[in-house]
Amino acid sequence: MNRKVSLKDIAQRVGVSTTLVSYVLNNQKENRIKKEVAQKIREVAQELNYRTNQIAKSLKTRKTATLGLIVADIANPFSSSLARIIEDEASRHDYTVIFGSSDENPQKSRKLIDTLLKRQVDGLIIAPPQEAESQIADLQRQHVPFVLIDRYFPDLKTSYVALDNCAVAYSAVDHLIAQGYRRIGLITLQSSLYHMNERKRGYLASLKDHSLTLDKSWLKEVPEEQVKAETEKAIGDLLAGPQPVEALFFTNNTVALHGLKHIQSLRLHVPDDLAIVCFDETDALDLFSTPVTCIRQPLREIGQQATKILLENIDKTSKITQVNLQAELVIRQSTAQAVQRLVH
Amino acid sequence: MNRKVSLKDIAQRVGVSTTLVSYVLNNQKENRIKKEVAQKIREVAQELNYRTNQIAKSLKTRKTATLGLIVADIANPFSSSLARIIEDEASRHDYTVIFGSSDENPQKSRKLIDTLLKRQVDGLIIAPPQEAESQIADLQRQHVPFVLIDRYFPDLKTSYVALDNCAVAYSAVDHLIAQGYRRIGLITLQSSLYHMNERKRGYLASLKDHSLTLDKSWLKEVPEEQVKAETEKAIGDLLAGPQPVEALFFTNNTVALHGLKHIQSLRLHVPDDLAIVCFDETDALDLFSTPVTCIRQPLREIGQQATKILLENIDKTSKITQVNLQAELVIRQSTAQAVQRLVH
DNA sequence: CTGAAAGCGCTTACAG
DNA sequence: CTGAAAGCGCTTACAG
């Protein structure tokens, strides 16, 4: 690539100092600079197709105007939808975003954080994986501005934007019970992460509050590594035997996708054979034979708030902001009332 | 944030020059540096938790080790899957990626390119929108390393990784005809982009080669802005009247998703009422009531080749590499033979 | 085996 | 109204 044009080139061409060029191009000290000179500088900059070297500027100003975003997997619609919202929000403030996928792996997440900090990102938005608590504590110790999304560590006093997972899980199970279902299974990811445990807790609490006995075998935790096979196995188990479950609650979009595919391949009729509630609303759900009752996360709100909080933390004080948003239970046909089902 | 630790801090602590520290930490001139000194430097670096300032390094070396990625919309699974592959490939070479979504809008794409170049990305991977030909030509003129993906401009001699869209569209329609379908509709995006036209061309060529008369009204081009409503309308039109189409070919995942949703809401039976072929294999397809015949793009290949070509162009000569990959027609139940349908 | 010094392309306090 | 100069944190050719 040819040498790029610099402030110096413009300065020489116009016959002024780089100082002046810098001021003009940054619209600073406008009242102190002769109109004609400013005009001329702009013209030449345009003519030479000048483009600020943001790297040099960053070195001097100690700001890169870039945010680091660490998601679980950018290919997952949950992550990529959030990424899009964050991109737009960052862009409105002239920030760009560098992203990385942690694959729920703390080593990867540590490496990503390190890479992003070397690149001097002004701040981080992180959906932390399991066992990343110490990494996050480190960030805090180093006074790096950051905000967690989706997940957080209750023992750590950090900024985050998340859901009241327990409440919405509770309401989903509540709804199933109200619809006449009693034997309700849960398929969730095996995870030590707080948000996943909260979803489980909501499920258990609702059953308990309705004095429904819980059959431990109705609660299935599938390992991250083999979600597909294990989800299918879990469904098989839950439907086998003399007391098959009547309803199933999937606690995230991955489990839900594999689960629904399997339910379809088993040619089960939803909700007649099995009622369904899913966590996360995704495009894919719309193609399922029965409209699926799901928990809709306020993605826009999460992305916007996270970016806003982060930018505030970058600009000013490092106050801690913790946001717990409400998710919405979107009721559709897959949880139609047991009675209603018979009528149909 | 506290001042970060620099080479100078380490140098002072150890009592050597920054030169030496730099050499040691970059594993350079190893044979010329006293073992004990090197050892000590590493220890102190570790102890102070030193992290290279990549910005300063970049300014000096004129390399940022970052790639710019411009996709249509990171929230679309096609884009995000590619982004993930490119992320991994870049990461293997110690590159990170900054991304942006153009929304098929040339103004946004121009702005993104500008932003990324200001940030001195070493190269760009771009899925260019319509009317971006001049921007791409500009890049070329400025000797910016870049490679186009998914789309390209046939009049521009640039590197790209794309599909033989015409061939695979041709084979898809061929397949429908072989399965006994004669009235075959096409729903595509209204676009001047070459790849979309190639898909259309493949459709038309196949019909022609089989001497099937083409009813112009079977070819529907829906505007980007109102994909959902217009796709639904198109389907309505194609199924109305005395000569409804028997099969439908959707030329990308967005049209396909809206189309399939609508077909489902109309309670049409696939393939009995209507056979379906989709461009792009997405997770969502798996939830449709009938397994859908689709065109599977070699996403991994596209992402990997694009990254590889770009990195080569960054490192060395700026030779132009144009890759046309074959896509695969994955045959499933949605295009089961007309005869077979009757047997069932 | 080691270090002083220049320079990457900006910004900005200071002097005039 | 304008400019010389220092400095951001690195790398590296050169000298010793």
Q: Are residues B279 and B312 in the same domain?
A: no
pLDDT at B2: 56
Would residue A57 count as lying in a domain?
Answer: no
Point out the residue nearest to C6 (C-alpha to C1'). B60
Assign 3-state DSSP to chain A and report helix, strand, coil percentages, each to 5.
Answer: 50, 15, 35
Which chain B residue is nearest to residue A287, measuring alpha carbons?
Answer: B288
Q: What is the pLDDT of residues B111-165, one digit of tens each?
A: 999 999 999 999 999 999 999 999 999 999 999 999 999 999 999 999 999 999 9
- Within-domain flag for B1: no
Helix axes B165-178, B194-209, angle to 10 degrees: 30
Instruction: Report CB contact under 8 Å: A74, B59.
Output: no
* A101–B97 C-beta distance less than 8 A: no
In a domain, residue B306? The reply is yes
- C-alpha closest to that of B252 among B323, B159, B331, B172: B172
- Residue closest to sugar C1' of D4 by CA: A17
Facing residue for A120 by CB, picked from B54, B120, B282: B54
Instruction: Judge if A142 and A204 occupy the same domain.
Output: no
A21 CA to C12 C1' in angstroms comes to 13
Higher-scoring residue by pLDDT: B339, B211: B211
Residue A84: predicted pLDDT? 97
Q: What is the mean pLDDT of residues B289-317?
A: 94
- Residue among B98, B145, B264 whose CB faces A287 most closely: B264
Rounded Cα distance between B258 and B250, Å, is 10
Minimal Cβ distance to B143: which of A2, A66, A99: A2
Judge contact between B58 and B81, C-beta under 8 A. no
Considering only CA atoms, which residue is closest to the C1' of nucleotide D2?
A20
Give all strands (DSSP E) within B200-284, no chain letters.
219-222, 247-250, 275-279
In this structure, what token pair is assigned to residue A277? Answer: 């509630």
Confirm or reject contact between B293 and chain A (CB < 8 A). no
Helices (H), B93-226: 106-118, 133-141, 165-178, 194-209
In a domain, A60, yes or no: no
Looking from the CA of B191 toward its CB, the CA atoms found within 13 Å total 26
pLDDT over 70 percentage in chain A: 97
pLDDT of res. A2: 56
Distance CA A149, CA A134 (A): 17
Q: Are residues A294 and A205 in the same domain?
A: yes
Q: Which residue is nearest to nucleotide D7 (CA to C1')?
A: A60
Helical axes B7-14 vs B18-25, angle rounded to 10°: 110
d(CA A254, CA A228): 9
Nearest to B100 by CA among B122, B79, B120, B86: B79
Q: Which nucleotides of D are covered by protein (CB under 7 A)?
A: 1-5, 7-13
- Tell me: the pLDDT tens digits for A250-285? 999 999 999 999 999 999 999 999 999 999 999 899
Residues B127 and B34 in one domain: no
B53 CB contact with strand D at below 7 Å: yes
Taking each helix axis from N to C terminus, what angle separates A7-14 and A35-47, rounded to the nearest 10 degrees?
120
pLDDT of B341 reads 47
Helix (H, G, I), strand (E, B) or coil at A106: helix
pLDDT for position B123: 96
Residues B199, B333 within the same domain = yes
Q: What is the reported pLDDT for B29?
A: 78
**pLDDT exceeding 90 applies to what percent of chain A?**
83
- Would B119 be classed as within a structural domain? yes
- Select from A174, A150, A21 the least CA-distant residue to A85: A150
- Domain identity same for B309 and B254: no
Looking at the fold, whether B308 and B186 belong to one and the same domain comes out as no
- Cβ pair A187, A251 in contact under 8 A: yes
- Which member of B75, B116, B286 has the closest CB to residue A80? B75
Q: What is the residue-averaged pLDDT of chain A?
A: 92
b/e sequence B319-339, b meaning 16+ C-beta within 10 Å:
eebebebebebeebbbbbebe
Q: Which residue is nearest to nucleotide D3 (CA to C1')?
A: A17
Nearest residue on chain A to B81, alpha-carbon basis: A75
**Strand D-contacting residues in A 39-68, CB cut-off 7 angstroms:** 56, 59-60, 62
Instruction: Judge whether B2 lies within some domain.
Output: no
What integer pLDDT is reported at residue A344 of this predicted model?
39
Q: Tens of pLDDT along B185-244? A: 999 999 999 999 999 999 999 999 998 877 788 999 999 889 999 999 999 999 998 889
Mean pLDDT of B30-53: 89
Count of CA atoms in the C-beta half-sphere (13 A) of B332: 19
Interchain proximity B1–A288, CB inside 8 Å? no
Checking if the pLDDT of B17 tops 70, the result is yes
Interchain pair A77, B73: CB under 8 A: no
Strands (E), chain A: 66-71, 96-101, 123-126, 146-149, 160-163, 184-189, 219-222, 247-250, 275-279, 293-296, 322-325, 328-330
Residue B27 and residue B176 in one domain? no
Average pLDDT, stretch B58-68? Answer: 95
Same domain for B72 and B113, yes or no, is yes
Nearest alpha carbon to residue A87 among A306, A319, A297: A306
Burial of residue A118, with CB atoms counted within 10 A of its CB: 0-12 exposed, 13-18 middle, 19 or more buried: middle
The model scores a pTM over 0.85: yes
Put simply, the answer to whether B286 touches A143 (Cβ < 8 Å) is: no
Neighbours of B308 (CB within 10 A): 16
Contacts of A76 in chain B (CB under 8 A): 80
pLDDT at B311: 95
Domain count, chain B: 3
Q: For A112-171, how does the pLDDT look when each residue is reduced to its tens digit (9 = 90+)?
A: 999 999 999 999 999 999 999 999 999 999 999 999 999 999 999 999 999 999 999 999
Place of tokens 């609650």: A249
CB of A29 nearer than 7 A to strand D = yes
The three-state (H, E, C) secondary structure of A188-204, written as one string: EECCCCHHHHHHHHHHH
Nucleotide nearest to B17 (CA to C1'): C3
Q: Which of these three, B17, B34, B52, is where a domain ends? A: B52
Report CA-CA distances (Å) from A12 to A7, A17, A48, A55: 9, 8, 12, 22
Residues on chain A touching B287 (C-beta within 8 angstroms): 257, 260-261, 264, 284-285, 287-288
Single-letter residue type at B75: A
Q: Is B59 near strand D, with its CB below 7 A from some atom of it? A: yes
Which among A119, A60, A58, A193 is positioned nearest to B66, based on CA atoms?
A119
Q: pLDDT at position A339, please?
A: 59
User: Is residue A287 within 8 angstroms of chain B, CB to CB?
Assistant: yes
Cα angle A311, A314, A318 (rounded to 5 degrees) comes to: 110
Per CB-CB distance under 8 Å, the chain B contacts of A117 are 51
For B146, list phi and psi in degrees, rounded to 5.
-160, 160
The CATH number of whichever domain residue B44 belongs to comes to: 1.10.260
- The β-bridge relationship of strands B328-330 and B293-296 is antiparallel
pLDDT along chain A (344 residues), means of 10: 81 91 88 85 92 95 95 96 97 95 96 96 96 95 94 95 96 94 94 94 94 85 93 94 91 94 92 94 91 96 97 86 96 83 44
Taking a C-beta distance cutoff of 8 angstroms, is the pair B64, B48 a contact? Answer: no
Q: Are residues A90 and A139 in the same domain?
A: yes
Are B214 and B207 spatial neighbours (Cβ–Cβ below 8 Å)? yes
The verdict on B25 touching A (C-beta cutoff 8 Å) is no
Q: How many residues does chain B have?
A: 344
**pLDDT recorded at residue B316:** 79
Q: What is the CATH number of the domain that holds A333?
A: 3.40.50.2300
The answer to whether position B57 is within a domain reads: no
User: Is the distance from CB of B230 to CB of B239 less than 8 angstroms?
Assistant: no
- Give the pair of three-digit tokens for residue B177: 């005809």
Are A173 and A216 in the same domain? yes
Range of the domain at A13: 7-52
B84 touches chain A (CB under 8 A): yes
Q: Whose CA is closest to B104, among B61, B60, B147, B73?
A: B73
Instruction: Select the residue of A74, A260, A284 nearest B83 (Cβ to Cβ).
Output: A74
Residue A232 forms part of a structural domain: yes
Could you tell me if B288 and B179 lie in one domain?
yes
Residues near B101 by Cβ (< 8 Å), separated by ≥ 6?
A84, A87, B70, B71, B72, B73, B74, B75, B79, B108
Average pLDDT score, chain B: 92
**CB atoms B55 and A53 under 8 Å:** no
Beta bridge partners of B124: B68, B146
Q: What is the pLDDT of residue A33?
A: 84
